[in-house]
Amino acid sequence: MIKIENVSLDIYGSSRRILSDINWHIERGESWILFGRNGSGKTKLLEIITGYLFPTEGDVIRFGHGHIGSDIRETRKRIGYVSSALREKFNRDETLLDTVLSGLYASIGLYRKPSVDETEKAHRLLVKTNLAGRENDIIGHLSEGEKQKVLMLRALINDPDILILDEPSTGLDIVAREDFLDSITGLMQGRDHSLIYVTHHVEEIIPVFSRIFVIDDGKCFFNGTVDGAIENKIFSSVFQRDIEVFRRGERLYSSLG
């Protein structure tokens, strides 16, 4: 569905190569963790996937089309992208329901009244994230965790083929983070879209994620299963510290040795 082929990125004025020869294939229905330290190139890679940035070398094939011969605006409608920077822009005097529905306008660029079906769909999404009954609350008054859930639903209202969440847990306390992860599990059930979840916390690798792409200093460090990453002590290697990763029930935890 998304094929990143030999992608490299140089930024004008910076002598350092930001991304080097990245190859990554994301198939329909797959849920991926994109893992890497601060500054490793995760957000730049996402900007290339979403078409906001062109690679210096290589190509990205999205839904069967390379960058030549495809309309990037049409392609973007099929990609739901939520970054933590987006959250800061939503301190608005707008209801929670209208914020979710505004995702429809972002994709088609038109202001129109949502249909009954679309409003019902927004309600159904809200129910799955424990926000039912809060439809008329003001988005600017919500907690960070609630706001993050609303922005995820805003991206999902268009039924994207892939949902990309760039460090969605930033600024969330442990309870809000767990609540957000539960929402992801609920929303992924019965859907066939793909998911990329960016994090540098092992604890956020919940069972819905079976695959992990680890990037370090702009290069692919590991591409495979979560179990494979644990077996190969990838987390210790990437942080160059002794990090023990262990399972308790279905969840993963880490401790620094």
Ligand X SMILES: Nc1ncnc2c1ncn2[C@@H]1O[C@H](COP(=O)(O)OP(=O)(O)OP(=O)(O)O)[C@@H](O)[C@H]1O
The only residue of 2, 20, 22, 43 in contact with ligand X, by rule CB under 6 A: 43
Helices 116-128 & 144-156 angle (0-180, nearest 10): 140
* Angstrom distance (rounded) from CA 163 to CA 132: 22
Interaction between residue 38 and ligand X (CB under 6 A): yes
* Angstrom distance (rounded) from CA 168 to CA 245: 22
Interaction between residue 40 and Mg ion (CB under 5 A): no
Which spans in the chain are helix H? 42-49, 72-77, 84-88, 96-108, 116-128, 144-156, 174-188, 226-231, 234-239
Interaction between residue 43 and Mg ion (CB under 5 A): yes
Interaction between residue 102 and Mg ion (CB under 5 A): no
CA-based nearest residue to 213, from 20, 21, 32? 32
Residue span binding ligand X (CB under 6 A) among the ranges 11-19, 93-101, 125-133, 143-151: 11-19
Interaction between residue 168 and ligand X (CB under 6 A): no
Residue span binding ligand X (CB under 6 A) among the ranges 20-28, 37-45, 131-139, 152-160: 37-45
* Angstrom distance (rounded) from CA 165 to CA 154: 12
The only residue of 42, 62, 121, 147 in contact with ligand X, by rule CB under 6 A: 42
Whose Cβ is closer to Mg ion: residue 43's or residue 194's? Answer: 43
Residue span binding ligand X (CB under 6 A) among the ranges 41-49, 85-93, 110-118, 247-255: 41-49
Q: Please answer whether residues 139 and 87 qualify as being in contact, where contact means their C-beta atoms are separated by less than 8 angstroms.
A: no
The only residue of 2, 7, 20, 44 in contact with ligand X, by rule CB under 6 A: 44
CA-based nearest residue to 28, from 58, 76, 74, 63? 63
Chain-centre distance for alpha carbon 134? 24
* Least distance between ligand X and beta carbon 221 (Å): 12
Residue span binding ligand X (CB under 6 A) among the ranges 24-32, 36-44, 65-73, 157-165: 36-44
* Least distance between ligand X and beta carbon 24 (Å): 14
Contact residues for Mg ion (CB under 5 A)? 42-43
Contact residues for ligand X (CB under 6 A)? 11, 14, 18, 36, 38-44
